[in-house]
Amino acid sequence: MVHCRKLPLLALFLAAVYSGSAITQPTSPVTRRTPQFENESVRVWRSSIAPHQPLTMHRHESGRVLVALTGGTVKIVKESGESRTVTWESGKAYWLPADPPGDRHADLNEGREPIEVMVVELKAPAPAR
Protein backbone atom coordinates (compact mmCIF):
# COMPACT_ATOMS: atom_id res chain seq x y z
CA MET A 1 0.00 0.00 0.00
CA VAL A 2 1.35 3.45 -0.94
CA HIS A 3 1.06 6.16 1.70
CA CYS A 4 -0.46 9.46 0.58
CA ARG A 5 2.65 11.44 1.54
CA LYS A 6 4.76 9.32 -0.84
CA LEU A 7 2.49 9.82 -3.87
CA PRO A 8 4.07 13.16 -4.94
CA LEU A 9 7.55 11.57 -4.73
CA LEU A 10 6.41 8.57 -6.77
CA ALA A 11 4.79 10.86 -9.35
CA LEU A 12 8.00 12.91 -9.62
CA PHE A 13 10.09 9.76 -10.07
CA LEU A 14 7.80 8.38 -12.78
CA ALA A 15 7.75 11.72 -14.60
CA ALA A 16 11.56 11.80 -14.58
CA VAL A 17 11.82 8.24 -15.91
CA TYR A 18 9.31 8.77 -18.69
CA SER A 19 10.82 12.10 -19.73
CA GLY A 20 14.25 10.48 -20.05
CA SER A 21 15.94 12.73 -17.51
CA ALA A 22 16.53 9.94 -15.02
CA ILE A 23 18.05 7.52 -17.51
CA THR A 24 20.31 7.95 -20.46
CA GLN A 25 20.32 5.83 -23.53
CA PRO A 26 23.75 4.78 -24.80
CA THR A 27 24.61 6.58 -28.01
CA SER A 28 26.13 4.81 -30.97
CA PRO A 29 29.60 5.97 -31.97
CA VAL A 30 29.67 8.23 -35.02
CA THR A 31 32.42 8.49 -37.62
CA ARG A 32 33.62 12.07 -37.72
CA ARG A 33 36.60 14.31 -38.45
CA THR A 34 37.18 17.26 -36.10
CA PRO A 35 39.64 20.03 -37.07
CA GLN A 36 42.17 20.78 -34.33
CA PHE A 37 44.68 23.27 -35.77
CA GLU A 38 45.77 24.76 -39.08
CA ASN A 39 48.40 27.20 -40.32
CA GLU A 40 50.42 27.67 -43.52
CA SER A 41 52.55 24.57 -42.81
CA VAL A 42 50.25 21.94 -41.27
CA ARG A 43 46.64 20.85 -40.89
CA VAL A 44 45.73 18.79 -37.80
CA TRP A 45 42.51 16.88 -37.23
CA ARG A 46 41.17 14.17 -34.98
CA SER A 47 39.22 11.35 -36.56
CA SER A 48 36.91 8.94 -34.84
CA ILE A 49 36.14 5.94 -37.02
CA ALA A 50 33.12 4.06 -35.72
CA PRO A 51 32.85 0.32 -36.34
CA HIS A 52 31.54 -0.45 -39.84
CA GLN A 53 30.88 3.24 -40.70
CA PRO A 54 33.34 4.16 -43.46
CA LEU A 55 34.81 7.60 -43.86
CA THR A 56 33.63 9.06 -47.17
CA MET A 57 35.85 8.79 -50.25
CA HIS A 58 38.71 11.26 -49.99
CA ARG A 59 42.34 11.79 -50.89
CA HIS A 60 45.45 13.22 -49.27
CA GLU A 61 47.48 15.66 -51.35
CA SER A 62 50.32 15.71 -48.81
CA GLY A 63 52.17 13.33 -46.56
CA ARG A 64 51.00 13.08 -42.97
CA VAL A 65 51.71 11.58 -39.58
CA LEU A 66 48.93 9.54 -37.99
CA VAL A 67 49.03 8.95 -34.22
CA ALA A 68 46.74 6.14 -33.08
CA LEU A 69 45.08 7.29 -29.87
CA THR A 70 43.18 4.00 -29.77
CA GLY A 71 44.31 1.21 -32.04
CA GLY A 72 42.44 -1.03 -34.40
CA THR A 73 42.24 -2.55 -37.84
CA VAL A 74 41.23 -0.42 -40.81
CA LYS A 75 40.41 -1.54 -44.32
CA ILE A 76 41.42 1.08 -46.89
CA VAL A 77 39.28 0.74 -50.02
CA LYS A 78 40.15 2.60 -53.23
CA GLU A 79 37.54 3.73 -55.75
CA SER A 80 38.82 0.98 -58.06
CA GLY A 81 37.76 -1.62 -55.46
CA GLU A 82 41.34 -2.51 -54.57
CA SER A 83 41.80 -2.70 -50.80
CA ARG A 84 44.39 -3.29 -48.12
CA THR A 85 44.14 -3.75 -44.38
CA VAL A 86 46.32 -1.98 -41.80
CA THR A 87 46.52 -2.33 -38.04
CA TRP A 88 47.36 0.70 -35.92
CA GLU A 89 48.59 0.20 -32.35
CA SER A 90 47.51 2.59 -29.59
CA GLY A 91 50.11 5.24 -28.87
CA LYS A 92 52.16 4.64 -32.02
CA ALA A 93 52.82 7.08 -34.86
CA TYR A 94 52.80 6.18 -38.56
CA TRP A 95 54.00 8.02 -41.67
CA LEU A 96 51.47 7.99 -44.53
CA PRO A 97 52.65 9.41 -47.87
CA ALA A 98 50.55 11.56 -50.20
CA ASP A 99 48.07 9.65 -52.34
CA PRO A 100 48.99 9.16 -56.00
CA PRO A 101 47.29 11.66 -58.36
CA GLY A 102 43.63 10.77 -58.91
CA ASP A 103 43.51 8.10 -56.18
CA ARG A 104 40.68 8.33 -53.64
CA HIS A 105 39.89 5.95 -50.81
CA ALA A 106 37.53 5.28 -47.92
CA ASP A 107 38.61 3.98 -44.50
CA LEU A 108 36.53 1.28 -42.78
CA ASN A 109 36.99 0.26 -39.14
CA GLU A 110 36.62 -3.52 -39.13
CA GLY A 111 36.63 -3.85 -35.34
CA ARG A 112 33.96 -3.60 -32.65
CA GLU A 113 35.22 -0.42 -30.96
CA PRO A 114 35.79 3.09 -32.35
CA ILE A 115 39.29 3.98 -33.51
CA GLU A 116 40.58 7.45 -32.56
CA VAL A 117 43.50 9.00 -34.44
CA MET A 118 45.20 12.38 -34.58
CA VAL A 119 46.52 13.33 -38.02
CA VAL A 120 49.14 15.98 -38.78
CA GLU A 121 49.21 16.70 -42.51
CA LEU A 122 52.15 18.64 -43.96
CA LYS A 123 51.02 21.35 -46.38
CA ALA A 124 54.40 22.52 -47.62
CA PRO A 125 58.06 22.22 -46.76
CA ALA A 126 58.82 23.98 -43.49
CA PRO A 127 60.54 27.35 -43.91
CA ALA A 128 64.30 27.39 -43.37
CA ARG A 129 65.48 28.77 -40.03
| Confidence grade of residue 76 (pLDDT, cut at 50, 70, 90) | very high
27-122 CATH, one of 3.30.950.10, 1.10.238.10, 2.60.120.10, 2.60.40.10: 2.60.120.10
3-7, 68-72, 75-79, 125-129: least confidently modelled range: 3-7
Average pLDDT of the chain to the nearest whole number? 84
pTM of the model: 0.73
Three-state DSSP string of 43-69: EEEEEEECECCCCCCECCCCCEEEEEE
Per-residue confidence (pLDDT) for residue 20, from 0 to 100: 47
CA 32 to chain centre: 5
Exposure pattern of 15-41 as b/e (b: 16+ CB <10 Å)?
Answer: eeeeeeeeeeeeeebebeeeeeeeeee
DSSP state of 4: G
pLDDT of residue 111 exceeding 60, the answer is: yes
| Confidence grade of residue 1 (pLDDT, cut at 50, 70, 90) | low
Contacts of 25 (CB under 8 A, 6+ apart): none
